Amino acid sequence: MDALDQLKSKYLDGIAQAPDEAALEDLRLAALGKKGEISLKMRELGGMSPEERQTTGAALNLLKTEIDAALRAKKEALADAALDARLKGEWLDITLPGRPRPHGTIHPVSQVMDEVTAIFADMGFAVAEGPQIESDWYNFDALNIAPEHPARQEHDTFFMARAEGDNRPPHVLRTHTSPVQIRAMQERGAPVRVIAPGRVYRMDMDQTHAPMFHQVEGMAIGRDISMANLKWTLEEFCKAFFEVPDVELRFRASHFPFTEPSAEVDIRCSWAGGQLKIGEGDSWLEILGSGMMQPKVLQAGGIDPTQWQGFAFGMGIDRIAMLKYGIPDLRAFFESDLRWLRHYGFAALDLPTVFGGLSK
């Protein structure tokens, strides 16, 4: 069997030293090709005795497999080496910028409206809407604000022009989202729970006021809904919205024509280091107005106040956005300064949900 051992070391040495694929192919042909040494030896098996054929045959097959495996391994090694050599030349400056992708943003007002909607939807409130140009009946009278009521003057109302000969009272740009209370009652009846976010308008323009801003109205009507329910609802909302484990709200008696009793609602906070923290500290921050719906308002909405009762509240969207996200100036909300939009805006896919969290 010396001959086979010699054959084996000859080819394995040859494969190991083959410089390239061509040399490897020559070796393959010389060993395993049709006229290769091993192939020729295979043919000789026919002339052997059965016993001899069995042992020699097995040995030859083993040798063939070994050489074949060595060829393949060497081939792959050569290919790897070639690839390595190529890749060494394929260097790019990977610090160059990627191809540009635009980055859009969602305005804080839209984001916060979505947050508010997510929270109240979870508490069973639908979303109601109403027109922004309103009749004075919906904006005032139906809400128990009589024409001569001082509050009607204090509302700093924008009035729409009236054509000559049109003697109806002028329409107004709604001064609050409260007229949606009336429309929602008329459309949905009782019991009902809705919020109504949207644009509102007042003749005011200074450091902290803009002639347009956003409110969210809330309204819940049932058989025995109480001011204590209102407080709970607002507590739950504030916890969820400000993303704190606990809040403390303080109801202060106040006056709105459309609620009775009425309360301004303060939230406990601290301003330590100029940073607002909700739910701790010794300061109180007024965040909204609320109360039990005035019977006349229920009546205006077509609901019998002897059978039903409910609460309503109104809150500034821009204001709670400013508080939550530390945005200093209201007027900047409406200036569309690209730097502001990018800085305070939200990613398109940051859709606030109750289950996934409101903010990142």
| CB-CB contact of 172 with 134 (8 Å) | yes
CA dist 260 and 318 (Å) reads: 26
Residue closer to other proteins, measured from CB, 52 or 325: 325
Buried b (16+ CB within 10 A) or exposed e, 273-304: eeebebbeeeeebebbbbbbbbbbbbebbebe
Closest CA relative to residue 323, chosen from 245, 269, 280:
269
Instruction: Please list every residue from 140 through 179 that binds other proteins, using CB under 8 A.
Output: 148-151, 153-154, 158-163, 170-171, 173
CA dist 7 and 163 (Å) reads: 112
Three-state DSSP class for 191? Answer: coil
Instruction: Please list every residue from 64 through 83 that binds other proteins, using CB under 8 A.
Output: none
CA diameter of the chain: 128
Residue closer to other proteins, measured from CB, 143 or 292: 292
Q: Of the candidates 254, 270, 283, 359, which one interacts with other proteins according to CB under 8 A?
A: 254
* Crossing angle of the two packed helices 317-325 and 227-242, in degrees rounded to 10: 40
Smallest distance from other proteins to CB 224, Å: 6
Residue closer to other proteins, measured from CB, 44 or 304: 304
Smallest distance from other proteins to CB 141, Å: 14
Instruction: Please list every residue from 194 through 223 that binds other proteins, using CB under 8 A.
Output: 199, 201, 203-205, 211-212, 220, 222
Q: Of the candidates 7, 276, 295, 299, which one interacts with other proteins according to CB under 8 A?
A: 295
Q: Known binder of ligand: residue 260?
A: yes
Three-state DSSP class for 165? Answer: coil
User: Does 356 help bind other proteins (rule: CB under 8 A)?
Assistant: no
User: Does 336 help bind other proteins (rule: CB under 8 A)?
Assistant: yes
Smallest distance from other proteins to CB 201, Å: 7
| CB-CB contact of 347 with 105 (8 Å) | yes
Residue type, 334: F
Q: Of the candidates 30, 42, 227, 276, which one interacts with other proteins according to CB under 8 A?
A: 227
Q: Of the candidates 34, 35, 43, 101, which one interacts with other proteins according to CB under 8 A?
A: 101
Instruction: Please list every residue from 33 through 62 that binds other proteins, using CB under 8 A.
Output: none
